[in-house]
Amino acid sequence: MTALRVEGLHFAYPDGTPALHGVDLTLAPGERVALLGPNGAGKTTLVLHLNGILHGGAGTIDVAGARVDPSDRAGLAEVRRRVGLVFQDPDDQLFMPTVAEDVAFGPQNLGVRGPELKERVDEALAAVGMSEHRDQVPHHLSFGQRRRVAVATVLAMRPEILVLDEPSSNLDPASRRELAEILEPLPVTVLMVTHDLPYALQLCPRAVILDAGRIVADGPTADILTDE
């Protein structure tokens, strides 16, 4: 069983900009992988394919054995439950009047109600150390706190794969450390887009380098970073 299998993924944007040229990537359950590479390499494009936000090119994606097929709406809903995407900008993810309502939004959408909903919200907020801020207005929190709430909104969906786009960007050293301590013990498969090499080394035993739409290196993070 694989957590994620991407095979032969090709994609160009509608304006013709090529972005992915035959990407193959397999993640085992529980694996933690850093996705590295220069600006414009295709990292965000790849990540947006994992739950069907982008589609239309060639290739296949399977999440825990289920095909990501954007023409299958029910299937796509299941994939979006399994793949939790944390965007680079938390403000893209927070839009409810309170922190708790933002965290409840995803599971509510899945039809979760009552005690299970409360349990999921409590658990996700506790996992990111934000329980005491549950009734606050998200936009009144610090940037680091908003990023942690954005992670909680995804954890409340109980994803099998957590995909993070630049999780340490714009964080001061204390918030950066706090987030690493939150991410480290989570019992999920992790794919993390990052330019932060120390973060990749600390949190991800394996790293993949994407360059101009192709995977050009894949191996132990320490080896990949010394070869750079």
CB atoms within 10 A of CB 173: 8
Determine, following the binding rule CB under 6 A, whether residue 41 of this chain makes contact with ligand ADP. Answer: yes
Cα separation, 85 vs 104, in Å, equals 16
Determine, following the binding rule CB under 6 A, whether residue 13 of this chain makes contact with ligand ADP. Answer: yes
Quote the tokens at residue 148. Answer: 């942690």
**Which of 36, 42, 138, 147 contacts ligand ADP by CB under 6 A?**
42
Q: Which residue has the tokens 């010394």?
A: 226
DSSP reduced 3-state for 221: helix
**Which of 4, 23, 43, 171 contacts ligand ADP by CB under 6 A?**
43
Stretch that binds ligand ADP, among 33-41, 127-135, 146-154, 172-180 (CB under 6 A): 33-41
Determine, following the binding rule CB under 6 A, whether residue 138 of this chain makes contact with ligand ADP. Answer: no
Q: Which residues pair with 26 in a beta bridge?
A: 5
3-state helix, strand, coil in the chain (%, to 5): 40, 25, 35
Give the H/E segment covering residue 151: helix 143-155
Q: Which residue has the tokens 């439950």?
A: 81
Q: How far is the CB of 13 from ligand ADP (least distance, A)?
A: 3
- Interface mask toward ligand ADP for 154-173; x: CB under 6 A: -----------x--------
Q: How far is the CB of 85 from ligand ADP (least distance, A)?
A: 12
Q: How far is the CB of 38 from ligand ADP (least distance, A)?
A: 7
Cα separation, 144 vs 181, in Å, equals 13
Chain Cα centroid distance, residue 39: 18
Count interface residues toward ligand ADP (CB under 6 A).
14
Determine, following the binding rule CB under 6 A, whether residue 37 of this chain makes contact with ligand ADP. Answer: yes
**Which of 23, 44, 51, 176 contacts ligand ADP by CB under 6 A?**
44
Length of the chain: 228
Chain Cα centroid distance, residue 18: 23
Q: Which is nearer to ligand ADP, 18 or 75 (CB)?
A: 18
Determine, following the binding rule CB under 6 A, whether residue 84 of this chain makes contact with ligand ADP. Answer: no
Stretch that binds ligand ADP, among 34-42, 110-118, 121-129, 130-138 (CB under 6 A): 34-42
**Which of 17, 109, 142, 170 contacts ligand ADP by CB under 6 A?**
17
Determine, following the binding rule CB under 6 A, whether residue 45 of this chain makes contact with ligand ADP. Answer: yes
| CA torsion, ordered 103, 107, 109, 115, to nearest 10 deg | -100
List interacting residues with ligand ADP (CB under 6 A).
13, 15, 17, 19, 37, 39-45, 88, 165
